[in-house]
Amino acid sequence: MKPIVYVLILALPLFSCTHKGRVTSPDQSIAIQAGEENGRIFYTVSKNGKTLLDKSFLGFLLKDGPLGEDVAITEVSHTSFSGSWDQTWGEEIVVDNTYNQMTLQVAEKSGLKRRFDVVFRVFDDGFGFRYEFPKQPGLNEFVIMDEYTEFNFTGKHKAWSIPYGANYYEALYEPHPINELDTVCTPLTIETDDGLYLAVHEANLTDYAAMNLVAEKGTPNLHVYLTPWSTGEKVFMQAPGTTPWRTLIIADTPGDLLLSRLMLNLNEPSKIEDTSWIKPGRYIGIWWGMHMNAYTWHIGPKHGATTENTKRYIDFAAKHGFSGVLVEGWNTGWENDWTKEGDKFSFTQAYPDFDIDGITAYAAERGVKLIGHHETGGATLNYERQLDSAFAMYQRLGVNVVKTGYVSPLLDGKERHSSQYGVRHYRKVIETAANYHIMIDNHEPVMPTGLQRTYPNLMTQEGVRGQEWDAWDAAGGNPPDHTTLIPFTRGLAGPMDFTPGTFSFENPVLPDTRVKTTLAKQLALAVVLYSPLQMASDMIEHYEPYPAPFEFITSCPTNWAKTVIPHAKIGEYLTVARKDRESDDWYLGSITNGKSRNLSLSLDFLDKGFTYRAKVFKDGASASYDTDPYPVAIEELDVTSTTTLDLQLAAGGGTAIIFSRL
């Protein structure tokens, strides 16, 4: 660990009529200036002297009137911090945490003279700011009706987004000029006219509504739109309290966006002292067969979650080194219309043909874990009533991973997933799970904001249009550029449970819908799309005809010591190299969109002075996602950090490489 150093600079009372404050990043490249105009507070942002955000105003509309329209900055103070911390799991071990901070004390000039602080924390790769409400006589319990935070950009830059109305964030990211945006979710990824890459998001979403963005009247001025309660309020709050951090990553290259840890740094350190039970892994599941109509979730002639079928999957997992087996449809309630009657689910009562005690014992004997599944149908109150009993049962049986689900557009028939109501529920599940030493894979979530630093049992989340869409999407499935977009958009929010690893490109249910990649790209996605818990998505019988490429899936770790990005262009191609946390080996994935391309790959990321045996899994000569996705060519060669490889990626294709240090 690096030594932690605190530096405190004297508070600076300002007496000029503009009350300005200024703070820069540690490397001086990013500058934030704050000031006051006509009774309102604003900030501006520049990079290397060029303005990125013009005058952007701050404030709120409370239920009893505005807060921030007749205010003054009464004091400005500065602090600095330099240190680092180790991740329980992640894309690297050590995270640098160095920043400069400016705090604005703001107070109303008249009336109740309520006050709040605005805290800016600036890193070399961007910044975050949040509002803090100290305890005070005039502001105890209050209701936020709107947040007036602005991000007013200086150009009509290209931005990739999904609409606010997309259920579960499962939509295709599309590029639009900022000024044409309607209400969109964050992260919002931007390429400026000057070639910078930006991402607007939030960090540490705690007991608050999720942040969305909307452009003002065709301008590049973005305003915050908070997800409301069904009754119209945005946030119920009490002082002392804080908002989430509003964040902006500022990067010189697309790859630098992926390497930013700004959001994690703005979350609190782990509240779990003993993390020895938190273990990443790769698993298989009784899941894809439901989408292919080979199995049903509910009990019946084709029930997937039977004792016999689960033991078959456990045997396969033990043979090939998978850490666990996910089983969906094991518990009673699936026989109902669970998207409307989620309150009929029991999370402790198994179907008669699923011997959960026998199965967990059978798995333990073979070194495999059963991965639990809790689909709630959005009935959160029913789930919360059963949380302790369900987690206690799993703990007794040795089940320490649970995939949760909330398939219903509204929670409990009325509240949005990203509302304060949803945020409170998800946090309760994560904290309760930690009490029982259970890891969570959360589907249909609120968009992640870095909470995995504070609760590292929150392993991964969906909130993305995942590979399941390639099974049942009537429009044909995910387009080939989808996986070259989501690392730069949804992936910036945190680990994605996308479930790569489909080896069969036939769909008996919807023949015109299928996975639009090559088989080699499916291998590469195991590295490119980060998740510490990652499921190989296909039915086990689909892996058996392809033992050679399947070796990459079974060999590839999910926990890393270091990550580098040799190539990156949003929506076109991406190469990611990662060093295994448990060995000296490296793994690489390179993918392209619907166009074939050649990429020159320098291996300068490999440890210098060593020779590696590179096992390359690449698209075969005739491979193409649309005509022949199956051919995979495998070759081995010795390489060093001075070697350059030529990667030949087929249309919709990829390359995956294991670098074993000799």
DSSP 59-107: -EEETTEEESSSEEEEEEEEEEEEEEEE-SSSSSSEEEEEEEEEEEEEE
- Strand, helix or coil at 386? helix
CB of 413 within 8 A of CB of 421? no
Structure tokens that stand for 164 in this block: 């606010």
**180 is a catalytic site residue:** no
Phi, psi of 442 (to 5 degrees): -100, 120
Sign of the C-alpha dihedral computed for residues 588, 593, 597 and 600 taken in this order:
negative
Pick the catalytic residue from 273, 468, 506, 551: 468
Burial of 583 (0-12, 13-18, 19+ CB in 10 A): exposed
Burial of 520 (0-12, 13-18, 19+ CB in 10 A): buried
Q: Which residues of 341-351 are buried (b: 16+ CB within 10 A; e: fewer)?
A: ebbbbebeebb
Identity at 558, one-letter amino acid code: T
Calculate ∠ Cα 508-461-326, nearest 5°: 55
Side-chain-facing half-sphere of 360: CA atoms under 13 Å: 16
Radius of gyration of the chain (CA): 25
User: How many residues does this entry show for the chain?
Assistant: 662
List all residues 6 or more positions away from 60 whose beta carbon is below 8 Å from its beta carbon.
66, 67, 68, 131, 144, 145, 146, 147, 148
Instruction: Tell me how far CA of residue 398 lies from CA of 360, 451, 643, in angstroms.
Output: 7, 25, 46
- Strand, helix or coil at 604? coil
CB of 74 within 8 A of CB of 106? yes
Q: Which candidate, 520, 567, 576, places its Cα nearest to that of 548? A: 520
Q: Where are the beta strands (DSSP E) in 418-531?
A: 439-442, 458-461
From edge to edge, which strands make up the β-sheet containing 30-37? 21-24, 30-37, 40-47, 50-58
Burial of 221 (0-12, 13-18, 19+ CB in 10 A): buried
Identity at 4, one-letter amino acid code: I
Q: What is the rounded distance in angstroms from the CA atom of residue 200 to the CA atom of residue 52? A: 12
CB of 579 within 8 A of CB of 560? yes
CB of 52 within 8 A of CB of 132? no
- Strand, helix or coil at 527? helix
Residues involved in catalysis: 468
